[in-house]
Each structure stands twice: as structure tokens, then as C-alpha cells.
Amino acid sequence: MIQKLSTFLSNSWSWWSQSNANNDELAPVVLTGVLILLLVSWYYWITFFSKSKKEHPPLPPGPLALPLVGNLLSLDPELHTYFTSLAPTYGPILRLWLGKKVGIVVASPAMAREVLKEHDAIFANRDVPVAGREAAYGGLDIVWTPYGPEWRMLRKVCVREMLSNTTLDSVYVLRRQEIRQTIGYLHRRVGSPVNVGEQMFLAVLNVITNMLWGGTVKGEERASIGGEFRQVVADMTSLLGKPNVSDFYPGLARFDLQGVQKEMKVLAQRFDRIFESMIDQRLKMDGQSGTTENKDFLQFLLKLKDEGDAKTPLTMTHLKALLMDMVVGGSETTSNTVEFAMAEMMNKPQVLQKVQQELDAVIGKDNIVEESHIHQLPYLYAVMKEVLRLHPALPLLVPHCPSETCIVGGYTIPKGARVFVNVWAIHRDPSIWENPLEFDPERFLNGKWDYSGNDFNYFPFGSGRRICAGTAMAERMFLFSLASLLHSFDWKLPQGEKLDLEEKFGIVLKKKIPLVAIPTPRLSDPSLYE
């Protein structure tokens, strides 16, 4: 049996990812020595929970687990749909054994409310994966830092200072500049196929980097640099969502059998070199000018680091971790959502027509979109909400981790479990939504639904203490970008191409097949594209 398990663990991870070649040689040697220990650990683990049933309610129901590996063999890479398929059999809260770790999947508004509201303080921590620690300087960013004074300090810096409505208003000129540059680039590409997601990624990335340190990508560099940056971010988010042996068998983490830690380290170092360069430049500029005027977020953060609270200081590591959050967390989520919105509307031309009619009525074809127009576009706002319902940026949110054993739905959720909130399934629940698989923005025109996190039928940005810190920024970028694309151009697929709406799972949801479309100008004066 030990030999079979050794063969399994060294060879059968290919459906997740290809292991690093060097680790392929190391894995069998290491596994042979530790499998007996793991098997014994598994036995005592199961025995512990069997005894605990006498004192506490049982774990939630779930599929039969195999010794040592648990349910890992049966996992489908598209975790959001796989978890959804289990709910009719096991109910709105279910259990999976992920190696030695207990996985809990919550898939109903009632269960989500218990986790994210009634027991919010207990579930406010994260189950930090190895990839997350490597990407975020040991997990010192706002996403992975444990709930406590350090996290509250980072949250305050992000929400009250960097991403407040006042601050976002003050940097509108940067958003406008980058969106206008994108529209100009697309105008030069009229009649040619354009990768919509890639162009929107670059636009969002330029806005973020300009806000952070004044950097931007101009001219013909857009396509090459944008593609490179997008690939790095996509690889990072893919690694963050990928099941990793090191997370499920902590004793094996030091061997990095799948090479996830090594691969993430290489990707993170590429960004770290950029961050270091920008910080050095800014410190030299400040030293030469002697000014403390805040011109961008980096200068603000450096000033805050020097003047911060002595009890909970903002360190240089925190600062770089926040830069990583902004670049990685803010770019792909927004651009993917715009891409889904474009695809859904092109698949349903009557919706696209209504949006353009609203834009023409408010703005006209002899003018360009400004962010001040957005509040006059209720149908476009409804489109955004509907896209976030069908395609939430983080379909399982970021996994939570209880700081103590807790009772949810009458079942025991053990301390340290990995808790997935399947917001994707809740948003498609036919008991909540009429025709849930249909793209229908009009369901949001009555103003009933918002994404404040208070309604557990609809919470694409999460809820509770760990609700997304960048919601205001995401809303502005999405609406301004989408309005500009649809007001400036008509869109069609290349000859012979078919529209595909299939999703690809990761910690960030994306289109499986990128949307490539051809823009045609629709404004009255070519100068409006300059």
C-alpha cells in the first residue's frame, strides 16, 4: 500500500500542474520516508475527530474520503462548478478532506451569513497558501495578514487613505488619461481584431501604476509590455488558486514537490525589482527636491512609513506588499470583468443596444464619456451588477480560516479548516434568482440589490471584516472603461469566429477563450478619438 501511495503522490498531480523537473527526482525518495508517518498521522487525525463527535456536533457531510489523500483524487480543476455539483447531495454546507486539512464549502445565503456575519470575528483569518506567502512577502499584505492590529493598520491605509472616494476623485485625471489613451489606440486598430481583455488589463494596470508611482506604458509598447505583465499576473493568480501538496501536507512543504513555491518566487521577484527601483527613484527625488508634497501613492506611503504609529508601524515590507496587492489584485479582476461584460452583451445584442442608447441620450455622439456621467447611466450600472452576479471576480472569495472551533449550521467547523464560500453558486441559485443562467441586467433596475455585503443573496465583493478593500476603485474603473468602449465603438467578432462564454477557474475567474473583437467608430468626429 505504501508503494501505491508513493506512486500516486509522485505521479498523479499532472491534472493540477506539471511538477518541476528537479522535484520529480526528489519526490519518490522523500515520500518513501515520510508516507508511514503521514499514514499514522492520518489514523490519529481520524481517531481524534471520531472521539470529538461525542463532545461536539459532527463535521458536515461530504463524499467518502480515502485514507491519507482524502478527496484530493476526485477534485475537478474547475473547483467552483465541482463544489456546486456536490451541494444537491450533501447540502448547503459540506466537508472535504484535502489531505490532512479539512475543507468546508458553504453554498447558501444562510450558511454564508453565519460564517461572514454571525461568526465574522472567528472566520476573519485566512488559510494562507504557500503561494500566497511567497507572493506577498511572507503574507504581510492586506489579503493574507491575520486579523488583528497589523491588519487593521493596513486596512486603514488602503480604505481611508489610498482608496477613499476623496483620494480617487483627486486622481481622476489619471484614469481619464489612460482610458483616452486606450480609446486612441483602439481607434488606430479600427477594422483589425483586438484582444479586449489584454487591452483593458493594460489600461487598468496603467491607471494603478500611475496612481502608485507615476509610471505608464505608452505608444507601441502597449501590446508587448501589456501582454508580458498580464501573463505574469495571470500566472501568479493561477498559482494562488492551484491545489498544492505543500498546503495539504505541511510536513512536505519544505520539499515543494510541485514547484509552486519556486515558480511563485520567480514571478514575485520580477515585481519586487520594479518596486525596489520605483522606491529608490522616489527617495532620490525627494532627497534632491526636499519636498514632502504627496504626488502619488508611493510618496504618500513612504511618508506614512516614516511618521506612522510606533505600536503598529508600516514597514518597507508592508509597503511593498501593498504595492503587490494593488498591481496583482486590482488589475486582472477589473479587466476580466470588463471582458465578461463585453462578451455577454455581444452575445445578447439587445442589451448592448440599450446600453448604447442610454449613452447616446446622456452623452451624445459629439462628446466623450466623463466619469461624471456615470451616475446618470442606471442601465450600465445594472449591467455591471449582472456581470458580477454571473461571473464574480473571485468565485470562492479568498478562503477563510476559523481561529477557533465553531458551530455552523449545526455542524462542527474545526479550527484551522479551509472555508470556501461559493458565491458563484449562490448567485446562480434558482431558488433565489429567476432564470439564473440568463444574462438579464433588468433584474437590477429596481435598486433592490447592492454589493455592500449585507445581503447574502448577492455579495460579489465578499462581506464582513474581510470584504474587498478596492470596491470603490473597481466600480469606477469598470463603469468608466465599459462606458468608453461602448460609446466610442461598435463591436463585432472576426469572420467565422463564434462567441464563447466558458469560464476558467482560478482564485480570479477569467474567460477560458479570450474575447477578440473588431472595433468600428461610432462618434461623429474623428478628433474625439485623439
C-alpha pair distances (Å), 6 with each of 31, 60, 372: 6, 30, 61
Give the model's pLDDT for residue 300.
83
Q: Name beta bridge partners: 520.
A: 490
**Cβ atoms 387, 502 nearer than 8 A:** no
Which residue range(s) make up the domain with 17?
2-529
* pLDDT for res 216: 54
Q: Which residue, among 54, 510, 45, has the nearest Cα to 240 in the 3D structure?
A: 510
Interatomic CA distance for residues 125 and 115, integer angstroms: 12
Q: How many helices (H) and strands (E) does the chain have?
A: 19, 12
Rounded to whole angstroms, the Cα distance separating 430 from 522 reads 39
SS3 406: strand
At 221 the pLDDT is 53
Task: List the one residue out of 212, 407, 351, 182 whose CA is nearest residue 294.
Answer: 212
How many Å separate Cα 332 from the centre of its chain? 7
| Predicted local confidence at residue 131, as pLDDT | 96
Q: What is the CATH number of the domain that holds 220?
A: 1.10.630.10
DSSP states of 350-370: HHHHHHHHHHHHHT-TTS---
What was the pLDDT predicted at 33?
52
Closest residue by Cα to residue 418 from 56, 108, 106, 149: 106
Query: What is the number of structural domains in the chain?
Result: 1
Task: Render each residue's pLDDT in the chain as its tens digit; 530 residues.
Answer: 444 444 444 444 333 434 444 445 555 555 555 565 566 555 655 555 555 555 789 999 999 999 999 999 999 999 999 999 999 999 999 999 999 899 999 999 999 999 999 999 999 999 999 999 999 999 999 999 999 999 999 999 888 878 888 889 988 988 898 899 999 999 999 999 999 999 999 888 888 888 887 755 555 555 555 567 778 888 998 899 888 999 999 999 999 999 999 999 999 999 898 888 888 888 887 666 555 454 678 888 888 888 877 788 999 999 999 999 988 888 899 999 999 999 999 999 999 999 999 999 999 999 999 999 999 999 999 999 999 999 999 999 999 999 999 999 999 999 999 999 999 999 999 999 999 999 999 999 987 788 889 999 999 999 999 999 999 999 999 999 999 999 999 999 999 999 999 999 988 999 999 999 999 999 999 999 98
